Amino acid sequence: MFLGTSSSTLRALAYIFQIISRSDGKVSINPLLSHRHDIRRADINKAWKLLLRLNILKAAKKGGQDHSLIEEEGKVPDFLTIWMRKRVRVSPAGHRSVQVAAQVMTMHDDITRRTCGSIIWKEKVPMPKYRLPPVRVLDVLHGKQTLQQFKVDESKPTHMQFRLDFEPPLSAGKIVEYGFYIWNRNYYSRSRQEALQLYKDEWIREGLGVNGPAFDVSIMVRLPQGYKYQNCRLEKGTAPSAGGPASPGELVPGLQHDEKTLSASLHEPTPGNYYVCWIPPE
């Protein structure tokens, strides 16, 4: 697990979200510590500090003891991302394999859906292959687990979306663990010249979206043996274009790179789309 989010810390986080949902949206630390059941005081204090540091909790009144959850566009976010990772492998032939995995926690009651990923491909190109393992829904306060299956929306001819529909709706403090695998044939341009011809852009990008509060997010791209990329960087807020070129976002620090790997580990990132970018060989 990331960020020291041990099972005891996750239980404390779930407990805080659950109490807030049952307390008209407000809570203070002292009642949490007084009615903590079998959760340790140290774990509640740690979880409380994490939520304050990430600005998930805010004081209801200046100087007051009561706190409430932050709102984005007038509503509390559905999920807190505990961790999310994307692992990409570039083959010598330009094929693409992607594995995405995540652990998220519901922040309030009545959560009915989560969109977990999507694929967009060009016309006259074979549809990507995918694998969707079962999804675990964990009740860490009561030690229970259920399994869910992805649903696939294929309503658009070159766009596919993976989603989870929760029936009955999830209550606050539930953990959802999911992952999926995607494989694309002949996906990557193998040279800078080819990238410019196909996409009017010399940069290749692999991105991951952060849609709400998050503790840890990471992207790793593994390149083939002898692949000599010319440059690399980490962007945020880029606007990709199927026809190219992309509209680059801001450059942000945190990219690690060597001959075979480009990676970014983002600790408590602000919401937005992050992209590991590189220029292929000449």
The pLDDT assigned to 19 comes to 92
Percent of the chain residues topping a pLDDT of 90: 69
**Sequence-separated (6 or more) residues with CB below 8 Å from residue 78:** 106, 107, 108, 111, 114, 212
Mean pLDDT of 110-117: 93
The pLDDT assigned to 1 comes to 41
Lowest mean pLDDT among 120-134, 166-180, 255-269: 120-134
Mean pLDDT of 247-272: 94
Banded pLDDT at 232 (limits 50, 70, 90): very high
pLDDT tens-digit readout, 118-132: 777 777 777 889 999
* Domain range annotation of the chain: 7-69, 79-279
Please check whether the two domains, 7-69 and 79-279, share a CATH topology. no
| pLDDT for 253 beyond 50 | yes
Mean pLDDT of 264-273: 95
Mean pLDDT of 249-266: 96
Task: Tell me which architecture the domain covering 7-69 has in CATH.
Answer: Orthogonal Bundle (1.10)
**Sequence-separated (6 or more) residues with CB below 8 Å from residue 170:** 106, 109, 110, 111, 112, 137, 176
CA proximity to 151, closest of 121, 123, 178, 188:
178
| pLDDT for 5 beyond 60 | yes
| pLDDT for 247 beyond 60 | yes
How many residues appear in the chain?
Answer: 282
Lowest mean pLDDT among 40-49, 79-88, 245-254: 245-254
| pLDDT for 4 beyond 70 | no
Read off the pTM.
0.92
Task: Tell me which architecture the domain covering 79-279 has in CATH.
Answer: Sandwich (2.60)
pLDDT tens-digit readout, 189-231: 999 999 998 888 999 999 999 999 999 999 999 999 999 999 9
DSSP-assigned beta bridge partners for residue 175: 105, 138
| pLDDT for 35 beyond 60 | yes
In order of 32, 63, 67, 120, the CA distances from 107 in angstroms are: 16, 24, 14, 30
Q: How far apart (Å, rounded) are the C-alpha atoms in residues 271 and 56?
A: 13
Percent of the chain residues topping a pLDDT of 70: 97
Mean pLDDT of 17-31: 88
